[in-house]
Structures are given as C-alpha cells and as structure tokens.
Structure 1
Amino acid sequence: MHRTFTQRVAGYVDAELSNAKEARSAGNPQQEFTHLERAHVLGQESTYWHVKVHVLMLAWAIRNSSVREALGQVFRIIGAATKTAFGMVPQGNTGGANVSPFKKMPISRDLAALIQKAKSGV
C-alpha cells in the first residue's frame, strides 16, 4: 500500500500536538505554542496538517486573548487551505503571526530529518 506524505508525517505531527496539549495542561502557553510551531513545520506540505495546525493556533490565540495572533491565523488558514496543494508554502516557516506568512526559515536538524523520513517513505 502506498502511503501519502500526509499519512507518513502524521505520527510526527501528532507527537508535537500531544506535547502541545501537555504544555497546555501544565499551564505553559508559550511552550504549547512552540510545539504548535514545530507541528506546523512538520506538516506544512500537507494541506490537512497545515490547515489543522493553523486552526489549533487560532484556538490558542482565542484562549490566550491574542487578537493579533487570531487575526493572523484566520489569514493563514485561508492561505493554507488554498495554497498548500500547489506547493506555495515557505519552507520552515513556524506559522505564527510573529513572522511573515511568506518568509522561508531554516528548519532545525531534528525536524528536517523527520520530514525527510516522511518524504522518502522510510
């Protein structure tokens, strides 16, 4: 059975989302957002994961009363839903409103290795 990138990267994205939930439960919103950013980098080449992580970032913004982040995420959800399938994503971008949605950013070695594993199907 041929699995897609979306399926192959799922475990890695889910692990970061689980870490985000743990940080939220521990009352650490900054750590929670850091894990959401890592999930974003991992899944941004998958429309499903890209949109899902931006929706979770929007929920984070609402819970933390960040109007700037919430507005930024609404814009990013639209972009993720309409541009990802065409490969129009800036690699490594962490997805928060604190960075331009068009800015390419370096990918940490650990995340780059996981992305490569998911792409190669290993």
Structure 2
Amino acid sequence: MTMTQSPQSRQRAAYDYLLQRWRTSVDAPTEQRWRYLEAAHVVGQNRLGLHWRAHWQMLRFARQLGDAPEARGQWARLGLTLVGHLVRRLPQGNIGRASVPALRPMVPSVAVRACITEAMQATQPPGTPGAQEMSPIDL
C-alpha cells in the first residue's frame, strides 16, 4: 500500500530537511550554506510560520558572518513578511536575500532548485512517484 502525504506535509518535510542541511553544513563554503537557506525560503514562502523562520535564520546567519548589510536587509524582510501574507503579495520563487528586491518574483538559480529537488526526493515516502517533478511553486 502506498502512503500518501499531503502537500503541506511534503512542504514542511522538505523545509525541515533544508534547514537541517544548513545546520549540519558548518564546514561547507558560505555560499552553499546560503543556498540551503534560500531554498528553504522558496519552499516555505507561502506559509507564514515557515517564511518567518527562514528570514530569522537568514538574519542569524548574516549576523554570525558579520554581514551587516544582509542583517539589516533581513530585519526589514522580517517586518515585510507579515505584511506580505496579510495582503497576499508574495513574489514566488524569491530567494529572500537582502541583495534581491523583496517584491520581485524570481526563478531560483539552478543550484537553489537542485537543493529543493534534493529535499523533495529525500523526504518523499517510499513508493510515491514525482518528487523530481514537483517545483517549489507547486508546494
């Protein structure tokens, strides 16, 4: 018997997977670690709690790196997150970094999409097809 998972469960599992990869990648290059956070942002962007948490982790990481412009940008993004959800204006695919316009829809980079695909495949219940076919927009 094939176990089915709701889209919200798959989304949460993929999001948690990406944050776990970020946490355990302390020896990886900084840009790879950012990709995990960017991918988590894309995956969780349409759910307020996940969206907020992605920006909070980005803020913490920017502060850890001593990246003041990114940290300031993340403080602003935290403020915009609630507003964006209230007015239902969330630019799909936006990676959430301070270096990109907050309200611009984007197609995430190949590297970010690869992280999302990895997360979807890693969290897919055995025997269920289609993780590689699901885009972040489908979540």
Question: TM-score band (shorter)?
Answer: 0.7 to 0.9
Task: Point out 4+ residue stretches in structure 1 off by more than 2 angstroms.
Answer: 107-112
Aligned to 1:73: 74
Aligned to 2:42: 41
Paired AA for residue 113 in structure 1: M
Measure, in 1, the Cα distance between the counterparts of 2:85 and 2:11: 15
**Offset at residue 114 of structure 1 (A):** 5.2
Aligned to 2:128: none
Aligned to 2:84: 83
Q: Give RMSD over aligned pairs.
A: 2.2
Higher helix share: 1
Contact 1:91 1:104 in 2 (8 A): yes
Measure, in 1, the Cα distance between the counterparts of 2:94 and 2:60: 19
Identity %: 26
Measure, in 2, the Cα distance between the counterparts of 1:35 and 1:84: 23
Structure 1 stretches lacking a partner, 5+ long: none
**Offset at residue 82 of structure 1 (A):** 2.5
Aligned to 1:102: 103
Measure, in 1, the Cα distance between the counterparts of 2:56 and 2:7: 22
In the comparison of the two structures, how many residue pairs are matched?
113
Tell me if 1:92 matches 2:93. Answer: yes
Which residue of 6, 13, 17 maps to 1:15? Answer: 17
Paired AA for residue 134 in structure 2: A
**Offset at residue 84 of structure 1 (A):** 1.8
The structure with the larger Rg is 2
Structure 2 stretches lacking a partner, 5+ long: 1-5, 121-132
